[in-house]
Amino acid sequence: MSRPIVVDSVAALRAQIRAWRQDGLRIAMVPTMGALHDGHISLVRIALEKADRCLVSIFVNPTQFAPTEDLDKYPRQLARDLERLAEAGAHLAFTPTVSEIYPAGFATKISVGGPSSGLESDFRPTFFDGVATVVAKLFLQALPDYAIFGEKDYQQLCVVRQLCRDLDLPVEIIGAPTVRDAHGLAMSSRNAYLGEAELKVARKLNAILRRTASALTGSADEAGATDAAARALVEAGFQRVDYVAARESQTLAPWRRGRDGRLLAAAWLGKTRLIDNVEIPAA
């Protein structure tokens, strides 16, 4: 088991990428905020299937957190993350500091419209500007051939695809299926916040969404079905539901019956906010 090369500066990152390019190697990138779990490792495996070299970035991006959110307590476990990357076979870990990504005087922001509208943006209005800005910087720093993102953060995946199309970034974005535990709970770094009783409640989220998506594939009224899903989440033990919404798969425009769709939800358990989504198959 060989450990990945670890670099924390853009200059060192580019030097390693340049050496690989001179050898004719193709590169896949997995952008993360660390606290790696099996979902992240599944992305590394896909990267290794697609390319000769796998680069994983580990950076807790402050610009995608609002002042009231959990930036300070977001789990950080770099040593363990590097062990997991070694076990998975990743070749390079990019672990920059905040000042490396956002040096003194940094004053640029990227704002993506289209799929960023609504859903998460209604509750986290600064989130996607932060995501788009840091992802654009990472792509320009590394210039990978591929980048792998999990479908668990489905709206984010759509926003990143829009970003690359609109700015002509030469990176192929690959969406990877959500990895779940044996009870259907989507893997997330924030699951570490949940106690055992909360985990039992959290594991009901996906089942409720799957049941609702099945109803929508049939003849269920969209507003009635999504309202019923929100009530079911509260009855299951969630304290608050931010949204349960049906959207078209590619654009996240309002869903139309007969089209491929996604049912997306965000709900709170104590101080932990969980998101998930499931496919709405075309009838």
CA pair distance 245, 271, nearest whole angstrom:
22
* Catalytic residue (one of 40, 91, 137, 161): 40
238 occurs within a structural domain: yes
Q: Give the annotated binding-site residues for beta-alanine.
A: 64
Whether the model pTM is above 0.85:
yes
Domain boundary among 176, 199, 217: 176
Residue 169 — left, alpha, or beta (φ > 0 → left; ψ -120 to 50 → alpha)?
Answer: beta
Domain that holds residue 129: 5-176
Q: What is the mean pLDDT of residues 136-148?
A: 98
Kindly tell me if the per-residue pLDDT of 258 is higher than 90: no
Residue 40 annotated in active site: yes
Q: Give the annotated binding-site residues for ATP.
A: 33-40, 150-153, 179, 187-190
Number of structural domains (the chain) is 2
How does strand 261-269 pair with strand 240-248?
antiparallel
Q: Please check whether residue 228 is in contact with residue 104, taking contact to mean a CB–CB distance below 8 angstroms.
A: no
207 — pLDDT class (breaks 50, 70, 90): very high
Query: For the residues of 35-47, what is the DSSP string, one character each?
Result: ---HHHHHHHHHH
How does strand 92-94 pair with strand 146-150?
unpaired
Q: What is the mean pLDDT of residues 198-210?
A: 98
Whether residues 157 and 33 share a domain: the answer is yes
282 — pLDDT class (breaks 50, 70, 90): confident
Whether residues 167 and 228 share a domain: the answer is no
Q: Give the annotated binding-site residues for (R)-pantoate.
A: 64, 156
Whether residues 168 and 208 share a domain: the answer is no
102 — pLDDT class (breaks 50, 70, 90): very high
Residue pLDDT, tens place only, 149-182? 999 999 999 999 999 999 999 999 999 999 999 9
Q: What is the pLDDT of residue 80?
A: 97
Whether residues 41 and 111 share a domain: the answer is yes
- How many CB atoms within 10 Å of residue 152? 19
Considering the chain, what is the average pLDDT of its residues?
Answer: 97
Secondary structure of 91-103 as H, E, C letters: CEEECCCHHHHCC
143 occurs within a structural domain: yes
Q: State the virtual CA torsion across 190, 74, 133, 267 in degrees, nearest 10.
A: 30
Kindly tell me if the per-residue pLDDT of 126 is higher than 90: yes
Q: What is the pLDDT of residue 204?
A: 98
Q: Classify 269 as helix, strand or coil.
A: strand
CA pair distance 241, 250, nearest whole angstrom:
24
Q: What is the pLDDT of residue 10?
A: 98
Q: Please check whether residue 255 is in contact with residue 220, taking contact to mean a CB–CB distance below 8 angstroms.
A: no
Q: What is the pLDDT of residue 129?
A: 98
